[in-house]
Structure 1
Amino acid sequence: MFGIKVLRSSVRTRRLFRARFHQLVPMQSKSTNPAMQFPCLDKMEELSEQLRNKHGSCPRVDATSSPNNEPNYGRVRSGFKVYKSDQPLFLDYGGVLPKFQIAYETWGNLNSDKSNAVLVHTGLSASSHAKSSPDNPQPGWWEKFIGPGNAMLDTNEFFVICTNVLGGCYGSTGPSSPDPADNSPYATRFPMLSIQDIIRGQQRLVEENFGIEKLYASVGCSMGGMQSLAYAQQFPQGVEKVVTVSACARSHPSSIAMRHAQRQVLMADQHWARGFYYPTPDEPNKILPHVGMKLAREIATVTYRSGPEWESRFGTERLNDDRPPVLCPDFLIETYLDHQGEKFSLEYDPNSFLYLSKTMDLFDLSKSHQDRSNRRKAEAQRLLEDGDSSEKPVRLCDEPYEPIKKRRTTTVEESREDLRKGMESIKDKNLLVVGVKSDGLFPYWQQREIVDLLGNGQNIEHVELDESQSLFGHDTFLLDLEHVGGSIGKFLRKGQVAELNTI
């Protein structure tokens, strides 16, 4: 019903696989045991051949129904609107986007004084399609959380905006977008982004496209929760209420390490080609690094769901206990991971995955991070303004890469105080922080840290779901309408909300 469908291979392809197998495993006249078969590898090689014959094109995958307890990420390539900015966006790490665009969708109506707008921030791989609409009736990734009369985001009451983030691949400017300098895809010429960069792009959309000076609320989960906090930090006067679910104030070494492993697996795929895998007129047969993408997603999926849930769903059961074990997917949990990786491998641009994964690693609300970013942005702007781009293009972030051994130079206490100072602008905001005890990617103590750093004032609400309330781990925010949706809905309705007066 969903995921990629691999067609039967042609006679030529089957012969190719058999020939390759015989080359790798010479047939012996005698053998103690027969050579093991690897249908999982055959399937990936067959897909590579199909993509090569289609000149590397990726099937257009729209959102489809998901089985029970599986989130629908709303990965779509149609039905959205586009905001375009011709003004350069100077980035935290010294790069620049001369111009950019952001894909967005809206639900509900903006009232007369533009005071009922709620900006919904997405996680790493989601599109702007959080909810179905007349322009796109496919279910969105937060389909049950948004709508008329909804307990969380009632579109009779709120004007809901959702964007595809900068760096993404569903309508917003990212690595697959054309570089204005030569009209070829940026690929890994795309500049490194921060969460704050993404926010500054969104703020232009909010202010310039809609004329909204102050959001009623900024709402996000996972990477979206990072964005929600960053919006309040960057534009404290531009938002009334802040919701952050399963996020943190600064990325932790454990999650950085896990995402590093995902990136290394993807970059090791021979077809990644250091990011330049997009087909060109000269090289039309390039193909996506779908194998690395599949494996990276499998690693990621391990961090998205919880051990207790998997114990109840899969246990240690195998597909067939009567057959000998094999090295391809054999346990039920292995087949689940295999499917999750397989369906994602052709739905999302690998370079976007790499860049946004690193953007999450770099997330930091500390004062020192802000100071460094301001210096780099100012230097980037000076270089762009002073450089003669007609003869010699300005090169930013051009220091050679040199691995260095470095030990930590600050104590835990100093680092925490730096973070507290950086979050001062959020301290007086009405804030809801939601954590999930079964979440292994953003453990519940990271949400507690946000509350503690902000002084645990009366303006801050903290909800923590234990395992009796949710076993879905990090994906709880996509699935739990009662506890996550209910908590957000109650928080948003506290205080006076302007009556809807449609313009």
Structure 2
Amino acid sequence: MNRSHEPIVTAIGPFIFSMILTLPKKTMNTLAKTFASASKNSVFYTKNSQISFPCLDKLEQRENKLKTEKQTSEELFLNFVNGYNIFNYNKPFVLSHGGILPSFKIAFETWGTLNADKSNAILIHTGLSASSHAKSHPKNTNPGWWEKFIGPGLSIDTNKYFVICTNVLGGCYGSTGPSSFNPNTGKRYASNFPIINIYDFVRAQFLLLSDLGIDRLHASVGASMGGMQSLAAAKLFPDRVNRFISISACALSHPYSISLRYCQRQVLLSDPNFNRGNYYDGVIPHVGMKLARQISTITYRSGPEWELRFGRNRSNPNSEPSFCPDYLVETYLDHKSERFCFEYDANSLLYISKAMDMFDVSASNFKYLEKKRQKALTLIQDRAIDDSHNNNMKSGYFDIDATSDGAEAPAFEAEYRESINSQKHMQDDLVAGLESVTMPALIIGVQTDILFPSSQQKEMAKILKLSGNKSVTYYELDSLYGHDTFLIDLVNVGAAIKGHLDHS
């Protein structure tokens, strides 16, 4: 059929058109021209209007504004988080994967009073993007991220305990991270920052505790990535932790959560403004950060909660459907991610989320990392880090293999890979890795958590018991709030924390 016949089909329908097809060709062409001309002003022909994209307009406006702004201060987010203390460690700090920081600083905040024998200290570990501001105080009266859990008479009672919270190494809220200036170069580390892991966070925190004169914690407490740190603290420093609490965490990261964090990093890397991490003198990768946060927000809450909270309701039921935020759940995701892209550093998100992926307290993994770390420590001791050696450290990363024969490195890798060939071996490996963790432990899981399913907390509790720990308590909560339950459920989470901390 000739395309000129199409208006006829539209105007009079396929039945009549089948009859017209029997007409002579000359008559057919005449009819086609007649209907084509008539259809220009016909109700049968309408011109579709261009769909509007206000969300894209907003991104473009932001891009233009950001091009005129430049942040030269090392503290990128002082307008968001302030009033913290700084612990400076002015010696080289060797990291688990062989990297070296020439020095570092840790932002921390405290509440309550340290008693005479310094035995009432509680260390609170944060999640991925949290700051040290867990609770308001005179230097920063804004509510903290765990505001209702910490304070006089609350779950973590500041009448009894001296509470400490830090911003993790690699973060951007006062602690040394990729946005910090490398003292050896005078430039920001950016993607020259060395790879870090959960053990590195904890070792840095315990250097702070030593500086404060705290030899032993009453408790180590954390949820999500903080729960990983709390378990790692108990493993690394069993003689310095009386008890620990791990909420919605794991003994090693599982493929599902790794894949979710991988997707977040990929959308961030795909932002043209990311520039391989070197964006501090240009436009921040705000689009990638916004999309990454939308992915993570979906993993933090639960489907049942959103059914009750949003359902299928639209923000404006009388409007035409839109590809921009339309349903209430979409406007929620847009709002949460809009704030985040200005409140957190993209490189910190990369490094810290990767540290979560690599978390694994198994004996073989710890042995593998310790060989790398000890080799770097030995090289530092042997070479005394003179000026020529500093040239090898200017990037902030000290390549072990480049400064030694490197013969053992492949053996480390082969030994580690061979050790995780089977699920049974993996469990035995984890049990061996936690043999030193014998202090009272509270493990909490949430049934609706999709990021760290409760099966992973059950696994942790089981492994602790198999490793010989006689004081493991496991609670599983039936909460609507998914992974974020530890931030919201004051009654159940708070009561469990208080009971464990106050138990003699």
TM bin (shorter chain)? 0.7 to 0.9
The residue that corresponds to 1:341 in the other structure is 337
Equivalent of residue 475 in structure 2, options 463, 467, 478: 463
Q: Which amino acid aligns with 1:94?
A: G
User: What is residue 179 of structure 2 aligned with on the other side?
Assistant: 176
Question: Scaled by the length of structure 1, what TM-score is found?
Answer: 0.83
**Partner Cα distance (2:324, 2:503) in 1:** 52
Displacement after TM superposition at 1:324 (Å): 2.4
Q: Residue 218 of structure 1 contacts residue 228 of structure 1 at CA under 8 Å; is this kept in 2?
A: yes
1:14-44: CA deviation from partner (whole Å, max 9, x where unpaired): xxxxxxxxxxxxxxxx984112111101101
C-alpha distance after superposition, 1:411-463 (max 9, x if no partner): 1111111111111111x110000011011100001000011101175411111
Deviation at 1:57, TM superposition (A): 7.5
Deviation of the 1:60 alpha carbon:
7.4
User: Which whole-Å CA distance do the structure 2 matches of 1:305 and 1:201 have between them?
Assistant: 31
Q: Which amino acid aligns with 1:351?
A: N
CA distance in 2, matches of 1:232, 1:189: 30
The answer to whether residue 243 in structure 2 is matched with residue 241 in structure 1 is: yes
Shift of 1:97: 1.0
Are residues 1:420 and 2:431 paired?
A: yes
Q: Which amino acid aligns with 1:34?
A: S
Structure 1 alignment gaps of length 5 or more: 1-29, 64-75, 280-285, 401-405, 496-503
Please, which of 439, 443, 453 is the counterpart of residue 453 of structure 2?
443
- For 2:372 and 2:361, locate their aligned partners in 1 and report how far apart those are by CA, in whole Å: 16
Counterpart of 1:119 in structure 2 is 123
Partner-residue secondary structure (3-state), 2:465: coil
Contact 1:51 1:57 in 2 (8 A): no
Query: What SS class does the counterpart of residue 124 from structure 2 fall into?
Result: strand
Q: Secondary structure at the match of 1:442?
A: coil
In the alignment, which residue of structure 2 is the partner of 1:476?
Answer: 485
| Inter-partner Cα distance in structure 2 for 1:262 and 1:303 | 11
Supply the distance in 1 between the matched residues of 2:279 and 2:46 (Cα, whole angstroms).
42
The answer to whether the 8 A contact 1:166-1:201 is kept is: yes
- Please report how far the alpha carbon of residue 56 of structure 1 lies from its aligned counterpart in structure 2 after TM superposition: 5.7
Question: Using the alignment, how far apart are the partners of 1:57 and 1:297 within structure 2?
Answer: 25
Alpha-carbon distance change, 256 to 397 in structure 1, aligned in 2, over 3 angstroms: farther
Matched, 1:370 2:374: no
**SS at 1:202 equivalent:** helix
Question: Aligned partners of 1:35 and 1:407: how far apart in 2?
Answer: 58
2:82 paired residue number: 78
* Contact 2:247–2:486 (CA under 8 A) maintained in structure 1: yes
2:230 to 228, 231, 245: 228
Q: Deviations over 1:255-314 (max 9, x none)?
A: 0000000000001101111001012xxxxxx11111100000000000000010000011
Offset from partner CA, 1:223-280 (integer Å, 9 cap, x none): 000000000000000010100000000000000000000000001101111001012x
> Given that residues 242 and 429 in structure 1 are in contact (C-alpha distance below 8 angstroms), is that contact kept between their aligned partners in structure 2?
yes
Maintained 8 Å contact 1:57/1:287: no
Structure 2: runs of 5+ lacking an equivalent: 1-44, 403-416
Which 4+ stretches in 1 moved above 4 angstroms?
A: 56-63, 406-409
Bigger CA drift: 310-319 or 198-207? Answer: 310-319
The structure whose residues are more often helix, as a share, is 2
The answer to whether residue 356 in structure 2 is matched with residue 360 in structure 1 is yes
Q: Deviations over 1:317-360 (max 9, x none)?
A: 22233332111111111111111110100000110011100000
What pairs up with 1:19-98 in 2 under 5 angstroms?
A: 32-55=47-70, 76-98=80-102
Q: Are 2:267 and 1:265 aligned?
A: yes
Deviation, 1:191, is 0.5
What is the percentage of aligned positions where both structures have the same residue? Answer: 50
Flag the structure with larger Rg: 2
- Which structure 2 residues correspond to residues 171-210 of structure 1 after superposition, within 5 A? 171-208=174-211, 210=212
**CA distance in structure 2 between the aligned counterparts of 1:299 and 1:398, rounded to whole angstroms:** 36
Relative to structure 1, is the Cα distance of residues 62 and 477 closer, same or farther in structure 2, using a 3 angstrom cutoff?
Answer: farther
- Residue 388 of structure 2 corresponds to which residue in structure 1? 390
Q: Distance in 2 between matches of 1:363 and 1:60?
A: 28
8 Å CA contact 2:76–2:172 kept in 1: the answer is no
Shift of 1:45: 1.0
Q: CA deviation at 1:408?
A: 10
Write the mapping of 1:400-415 to structure 2, written as runs, cut at 5 A: 410-415=421-426
Q: Secondary structure at the match of 1:336?
A: helix
Change (3 A) 1:61 1:382: closer
**Corresponding position of 2:287:** 291
The equivalent residue for 1:500 is: none
- For 2:375 and 2:153, the matched residues in 1 are separated by 49
- For 1:193 and 1:60, the matched residues in 2 are separated by 21
Aligned-partner SS, 1:425:
coil
Q: For residue 240 of structure 1, give the secondary structure of its aligned residue in structure 2.
A: coil
Distance 2:156 2:400 in 1: 45
Structure 2 contact 227–248 (Cα < 8 Å) conserved = yes
CA distance in 2, matches of 1:102, 1:409: 34
Structure 1 residues 32 and 472, CA, compared in 2 at 3 Å: closer, same or farther? same
**Equivalence for 1:25:** none
Give the letter for the 1:490 counterpart: G
- Matching of residue 162 in structure 1 with residue 151 in structure 2: no
For 1:44, give the aligned amino acid: L
Query: Residues 121 and 225 of structure 1 are in contact (CA less than 8 Å); yes or no, is this contact kept in structure 2?
Result: yes
**Contact map agreement 1:168 1:352 (CA 8 A) in 2:** yes
Match of 1:454 in 2: 464
- Aligned residue for 1:153? 156
- Structure 1 residues 85, 62: CA separation in 2 closer, same or farther (over 3 Å shift)? closer
Seen in structure 2, the aligned counterparts of structure 1 residues 408 and 36 have a Cα distance that, compared at 3 Å, is farther
Deviations 1:131-158 (A, max 9, x none): 11111111111111111121x1111100
Q: CA RMSD in A?
A: 2.2
| Native 8 Å contact 2:420 2:426 kept in 1 | no
2-structure distance, mates of 1:89, 1:373? 15
Tell me: CA distance 1:340–1:408, structure 2 relative to 1, closer, same or farther (3 Å). farther
